[in-house]
Amino acid sequence: MNTIFLPLQFQNISFVFLSISFSIIGFLYAFHKKYAKDFILSAFVQRYANQYLRDENVFKKRVNILFSTLMILNISLFIWSFKLSEKTGLISLIIIMLFVALYYVVKYILIWFLGVLLKMKQISEIALFFTTLFDKVFALFIFPVLLFFHFFIIDVKGYSTTLIFSFLVIFFLLKIFWTLKIGIKSFGLSRFYLFLYICILEFFPLLLLYRGIVFA
């Protein structure tokens, strides 16, 4: 699937949303390079995560908001790209974006509520940071792949698909690793409850995503 085979309607829609994503990335690089770098490295090295969580300021909040917007845009475009058909259009992409945003809002509310209910505010704040960290970095990594998927001069759909799903698996495994490591070693949380959290809020949505893309 490339610029030759994609209908003009799909090219226009993907161009607009990829341009927005590119603008967000450019803004982060131009004005918040240091914080954006620390945020990205937090997904791979714990000391950067500790450093990022240690001091809260308005610039870090802005970086979080920008990465959250990028996450919703690129993950929605990723899902939409694999569902392209004659019936797919702007409305379909907007609906997907609403469901993606709703998923993260519901996850945020559930973790926050459990933190308040169990009087574990510190753990809930850390969980809220890590539960979307890897998805935000994943959204950044797949941006150039989505660009090639839609606008490369030759058909690179197969390579792009393999690369995107490889990133998805890598960041999912990283998320599971850090969830277990921090939950068990740092806070002594039960493996059973961590397993339930991973299955319900992390693994199950991926199964739904896979089913929606492959069997749609």
Encode pLDDT of 161-188 as tens digits: 788 888 888 888 888 887 777 767 656 6
What integer pLDDT is reported at residue 2 of this predicted model? 45
Percent of the chain with pLDDT over 70: 78
CA distance 212 to 216: 5
pTM value is 0.80
Q: What tokens appear for 162 in the block?
A: 């393999």
The parts of the chain modelled with pLDDT lower than 50 are 1-6, 85-86, 214-216
CA 194 to chain CA centroid, nearest Å: 20
What integer pLDDT is reported at residue 5 of this predicted model? 45
Which of these, 138, 113, 165, 131, lies nearest to 40 by C-alpha position? 138
